[in-house]
Structure 1
Amino acid sequence: MIQTTSIKLNNFSDFANACKHFGIEINNNQLILFKKYYEILLEWNKKINLISRKDVSLPTILEKHFLDSIIFLPEILSLINNSGFIPHTPYLNTQCSVFDIGSGGGFPGVPLAIINPHWRFTLCESTKKKSIFLSHLISQLELTSQIKILNERVENINQKKEYCSIFDLVTVRAVEKLNTLIEYSLPLLKQGGNLLAYKAEDITNEMQNVDKLVKNKKLTVKIFEKEINKVRRKLICVKKQS
């Protein structure tokens, strides 16, 4: 059953309440980081196209970018636990390595990093200006020990030995078709690791196109769905079998 929620997101207090509603605890220090992130994002968006100019209001950024990036965290944690990790909440000292494809304005990688301070992230962004923004952002948020930026295309990175089979998760939001994302992600993932593809649109045709690929490579697929303020979100999870 799809979880349907109508929720207001007019300010950061509303954002904290929304996180709690979806089973995600957030402390004051993390809220401060999200506020700083919002300010930096707005300033840089005047110079380069990080998010749509229609999306720059605080309520829209809180819902469409910040909350959207972390809303499936309980489901993600359940996937990690099933991969052999010790059951945990995001706030325990559990290590997880994440590769984020096409990070752009930092979504979903940076919000996930703020909530999960013991996870390690590699953000892949092929556009130079956006990678400069990401470097500035993580410096200002003091997350440089947690997040690494790569200004390269993923199809080049996944051919490099030092990045092959080392990541627990590969995350991506809305770019490329699912079958392409699977091909990009498999070399990067450990055995038992998961591709997490965030989607908002109908995925029926995409799923039909990946059925053969999933069978040939012996992958398993789970789909989680939630609806917020009449907008449906989907997280497609593709597991690389052990």
Structure 2
Amino acid sequence: MNTRQIDSFENFQHVTKGYNIEINNNQLDLFKRYYKILLEWNKKINLISRRGEDSIIEKHFLDSIVFLPEIENLINHNQGRINPAPTNLLDIGSGGGFPAIPLAIMKPDWDFVLCESIKKKAGFLTTLVKELNLEKRVTIINDRVETLSNNQFDFITARAIAKLDILIKYALPLLKKDGHLLAYKAKDIDDEIKTAEEIIKKNKLKLKIFSKEINGVERKLIVIRHCEEST
């Protein structure tokens, strides 16, 4: 979908409808508060590029939720099982909170764990979650992802932190059977997928790619499914 640059929250609310995403006024208010807190903290620590502060709504907020309909479809598939459990999601290397906090704003019935190894960034996330009143379902962990317990997450998200084969190595032990790794990518991914072919084949993983355009820039979501028959 081609869009003009999103330069206001009203425009943001309008543009998301073109991606079959509805943002209500309460959610829009949370995004506005998020925007303000992010700018305040970005003066103190490097959360996003200073040169990119005028495009936060488009490059970070919209980018984080643009694949929400596809993610919801994956969840609906999982919950077609017997005794489906509440959806829980781990975000690796959360930094400024993307994509987890925008997803948490949009999905009040999901539980989130944000893993951030850098203390100052984890401090920002803790403050942000408190200010947005998300503490009951969003947990911040200031540690390395390798320290987390295995086989506990339905979904793991990662945005601009590592190549696909590395992400799979981090995520695979932490995913429940039939869980999904969601890797947000912006550039050509052919080389990354080729490099990851061995680990995908060895663990009998399933790969699917979604693609969307934001203001003329192609965005991709690589979905790696940890199948029940995987070892």
Where on the TM-score scale, by shorter chain, does this alignment land: which range? over 0.9
- Is the counterpart of residue 201 in structure 1 residue 194 in structure 2? no
- Is the counterpart of residue 43 in structure 1 residue 33 in structure 2? no
Counterpart in the other structure of 1:79 = 74
**Partner Cα distance (1:33, 1:111) in 2:** 9
**Partner Cα distance (2:80, 2:45) in 1:** 39
> Structure 1, residues 55-77: CA drift from partner, whole Å, max 9, x if none?
111xx101100000000001111
Q: 2:93 aligns with which of 102, 119, 127?
A: 102
Please report the TM-score for the alignment, with normalisation by the length of structure 1: 0.90
> Structure 1, residues 113-172: CA drift from partner, whole Å, max 9, x if none?
000001000000000000000000000000000100000111222xxxxx3211110000
Counterpart in the other structure of 2:155 = 169
Structure 2: 5+ residue stretches without partners? none
**Partner Cα distance (2:163, 2:59) in 1:** 20
**Partner Cα distance (1:64, 1:118) in 2:** 25
Counterpart in the other structure of 1:19 = 16
Counterpart in the other structure of 1:90 = none
Counterpart in the other structure of 1:89 = none
Counterpart in the other structure of 1:33 = 30
- Is the counterpart of residue 219 in structure 1 residue 200 in structure 2? no
Structural mapping, 1:180-191, within 5 Å: 180-191=166-177
Report the AA paired with residue 194 of structure 1: H
Please report the TM-score for the alignment, with normalisation by the length of structure 2: 0.94
- Corresponding residue SS for 1:56: helix
The Cα shift of 1:189 comes to 0.7
Paired residues in the alignment total: 225
Q: 1:126 aligns with which of 100, 107, 117?
A: 117
- Is the counterpart of residue 233 in structure 1 residue 228 in structure 2? no
Counterpart in the other structure of 2:164 = 178
Answer yes or no: is the 8 Å Cα contact 2:3–2:15 preserved in 1: no
Counterpart in the other structure of 1:135 = 126
Structure 1: 5+ residue stretches without partners? 87-93, 158-162
**Partner Cα distance (1:228, 1:171) in 2:** 20
Answer yes or no: is the 8 Å Cα contact 1:7–1:18 preserved in 2: no
Q: Which moved more, 1:8-17 or 1:33-42?
A: 8-17
The list of structure 1 runs, each at least 4 consecutive aligned residues, that deviate by more than 6 angstroms after superposition, is none
Counterpart in the other structure of 1:70 = 65
Q: CA RMSD in A?
A: 1.2
Answer yes or no: is the 8 Å Cα contact 1:109–1:123 preserved in 2: yes
Counterpart in the other structure of 1:112 = 103
Report the AA paired with residue 139 of structure 1: K
> Structure 1, residues 168-199: CA drift from partner, whole Å, max 9, x if none?
10000011110110010011111001000000
The Cα shift of 1:32 comes to 0.5
Name the % identity.
53
Answer yes or no: is the 8 Å Cα contact 1:102–1:126 preserved in 2: yes
- Corresponding residue SS for 2:173: coil
> Structure 1, residues 85-116: CA drift from partner, whole Å, max 9, x if none?
48xxxxxxx93100000000000000000000
Answer yes or no: is the 8 Å Cα contact 2:155–2:182 preserved in 1: yes
